[in-house]
Amino acid sequence: VTLVGIIGAGQLGRMLALAAAPMGIRCRLLDPAPQPPAVGVAEVVTAAFDDTDGLQRLAAGAKVVTFELEHVPIEAARYVSGRVRVAPSLEALSAAQDRLLEKEAFTRLGIPCAAYAAVDDAAALRGAAVKLGLPIRLKTRFAGYDGRGQRELRTPAQVEDAASIADAGGLIAERVVGFTREVSMIAVRGGDETMFYPLVDNTHRDGILRVSRAPAEIDPALVDAARDYATRLLDAFAYRGVLALELFETTSGLLANEFAPRVHNSGHWTIEGAVTSQFANHIRAVCGLPLGRTDPYAACAMVNLIGREPDPQSLLRLPGAHLHRYGKAPRPARKLGHVTLCPLDPHALRQAVSMADAAADDP
């Protein structure tokens, strides 16, 4: 049987392993956590991401190694790539890890994005506030996710308050984008073919994805632009696998926010809603197998279950509901599961959102 190694055994790794199984492809995952979500559906090696013994056990006999998170030490990925093929490329991984390299790649590739400035000290922060104009969003270059490691600075006093943080360095400041909505383009590249899922409409709360709807009802010219930007990234990084590009829709077109060199939360609806899920297509792409069609069967919506899960019975009673639980302990701001409504019933969506909100807000 074909064996695929996956760095990370969270929910994305688990959904990759579940998608691989019907094709006779086995996955082995590496994660430092004692009971990550993929436990129980695939073989999990418990070790730190930079543990060479763990990395060797992950790679042994694998056809290819991929990753389900971008916050993998680049040395770990490089170590593995000396033993077995790693996909997507290390270049894509390192650009996606560092918000500064990422923005520089957008700029070099002609992909529009918000004005930004590197912040290595307080003087650079003050300079950025002048150059970009307030409000700005100050973000850690490395290791941020789900809105963590970010704060918005609206006043000169807030800029001064952040001066000591800025002195620690490793930050980037971005102009705050007045977007009309957020969308994402999920693309997949195999050996010689590229396919695109429909553009997804995303709603966030506190920096965390809350609801995705697909296909987004949007000007087709913007869909073409999003495909073009994703293609530039795929080409630049000699890419293989699924890539997700998060974008802001503004009155003057799309601005890229960030890209993920992996399957993405805004693509979870494809499990039930598309001819081939993002997970199956990622496995196909990294294994060198033909890609599957990406067209949607129906309009779909996905609601994340964050912090605390609603009663599964109530969710499953909603028409068209498909429940995914990751087996994680409740914790504020933590993604514990999702429910996909496919085909989409607007009333069921409203109910799912209010159940998810009520559970999350329950003290």
State which residue, 68 or 246, has the beta carbon closest to Mg ion. 246
Of 100 and 342, CB closest to ligand ADP: 100
Q: How far is the CB of 6 from ligand ADP (least distance, A)?
A: 20
Binding residues among 174-213 for ligand ADP as defined by CB under 6 A: 174, 176-177, 182, 204, 207
Rounded CA-CA distance 13/308 in Å is 21
272 binds, among ligand ADP, Mg ion, none (CB under 5 to 8 A by kind): none
**CB crowding 240-261: b at 16 or more within 10 Å, else e:** bbbbbbbbbbeeeebbbbbbbb
Q: Closest CB to ligand ADP among 126 and 137? A: 137
- Comparing CA positions, the residue from 157, 159, 140 lying closest to residue 148 is 140
The type of residue at 139 is K
Dist. CA 43–CA 343, nearest whole Å:
33
Q: Do 249 and 50 form a contact (C-beta atoms < 8 A)?
A: no
CA distance 173 to 141: 9
Q: Which is nearer to Mg ion, 246 or 309 (CB)?
A: 246
The one of ligand ADP, Mg ion, none whose footprint includes residue 343, by CB under 5 to 8 A per kind, is none
Positions touching Mg ion (CB under 5 A) are 246
Tokens 């990753």, located at residue = 67
Q: How far is the CB of 157 from Mg ion (least distance, A)?
A: 28
Residue 170 contacts residue 190 (beta carbons within 8 Å): no
Give the one residue of 43, 50, 51, 146 binding ligand ADP; rule: CB under 6 A: 146
Encoded one letter per residue, x for contact with ligand ADP by CB under 6 A and - for no contact, window 106-145 reads --------x----------------------x------xx
CB 143 within 8 A of CB 149: yes
Position closest to ligand ADP via CB: 177
Give the orientation angle of helix 99-108 with respect to helix 90-97, to 10 degrees. 110
- To ligand ADP, the closest distance from the beta carbon of 257 in angstroms equals 5
Return the H-helix or E-strand segment holding 248.
Answer: strand 241-250
Structure tokens at 148: 């963590």
Measured at the CA of 128, the angle between CA 126 and CA 131, to 5 degrees, comes to 115
Q: How far is the CB of 144 from Mg ion (least distance, A)?
A: 9
Contacts of 3 (CB under 8 A, 6+ apart): 25, 26, 27, 28, 61, 62, 63
Give Dmax (Cα) for the chain.
61
Does residue 343 belong to the site contacting ligand ADP (CB under 6 A)? no
By beta-carbon proximity to ligand ADP, the closer residue of 28 and 259 is 259
**CB 268 → ligand ADP: shortest distance, Å?**
15
Q: How far apart are CA 77 and CA 93, in angstroms?
A: 9
Which lies closer to ligand ADP via its Cβ, residue 33 or residue 176? Answer: 176
Interface with ligand ADP (CB under 6 A), residue from 31, 201, 258, 309: 258
Which is nearest to 278 in space by CA: 24, 68, 1? 68
Work out what residue 146 binds among ligand ADP, Mg ion, none; the CB cut-off runs from 5 to 8 Å by kind: ligand ADP
Closest contact distance (angstroms) between CB of 27 and ligand ADP is 25
70 binds, among Mg ion, ligand ADP, none (CB under 5 to 8 A by kind): none
According to CB under 6 A, which residues from 57 to 86 bind ligand ADP?
none
Rank residues 103 and 232 by Cβ distance to ligand ADP and give the closer one.
Answer: 103
Q: How far is the CB of 95 from ligand ADP (least distance, A)?
A: 14
- What is the smallest separation between the CB atom of 267 and ligand ADP, expressed in angstroms? 14
List contacts with ligand ADP (CB under 6 A): 114, 137, 144-147, 174, 176-177, 182, 204, 207, 246, 257-258
